[in-house]
Amino acid sequence: MLSIHLGDYPGSIYDTKTYFRNSYLDSWFEDPMAAQMIKGVDGSELIGPHSIISKQLGSTTPLELSGGVKTLLLVRNLPDMVFNASTCGDNCARWLLKIGKEQDVLVTLYHIMKFPWKRFEIRIENDGRIVKNMQEFVGATNDFLDVDDTTRVLH
């Protein structure tokens, strides 16, 4: 299940770009979901662990992936760690839900992410409640995030 902690969480990784650069493995790109996420979020095609074809950049490496895809790959491949999902845009929300359907993961958020599905299940780590739609999710963010939190999106 996808669990979200709203606001600061001890031990959370906030600089996902640097963490990714120093920890990703070639094997992560053998996962079919990696290719789907790269296509769905960045609009690029995964050729192999060292080759991605981008319409904007041409041939690139995993280091040139968007911050959102890097964060999704970290969440998917290091599920025991906590990453800042505020480095992701709303186009990553469906992928967080998909990852959460396959494995238990915890991420932090500092903003209201728009989840595309009408019904879903997300556990709010702060108090343990399960939210099942955007209205309930927004209510949870109101309980745990203040204006200062929602403007502090760290990349």
Q: State residue 148's pLDDT score.
A: 55
pLDDT tens for 10-40 read 999 999 999 999 999 999 999 999 999 999 9
Rounded CA gap, 20 and 17, in Å? Answer: 5
- 10-residue mean pLDDT profile of the chain (155 residues): values are 97 97 97 98 96 93 97 98 97 98 97 95 98 96 74 41
Q: State residue 147's pLDDT score.
A: 52
| The length of the chain, given as a count of residues | 155
**Amino acid, single-letter form, for residue 98:** K
Strands 122-124 and 130-131: antiparallel
Rounded to 5 degrees, what are φ and ψ at 91?
A: -70, -5
Q: Write down the residue that tokens 């505020």 correspond to.
A: 86
Q: State residue 146's pLDDT score.
A: 77
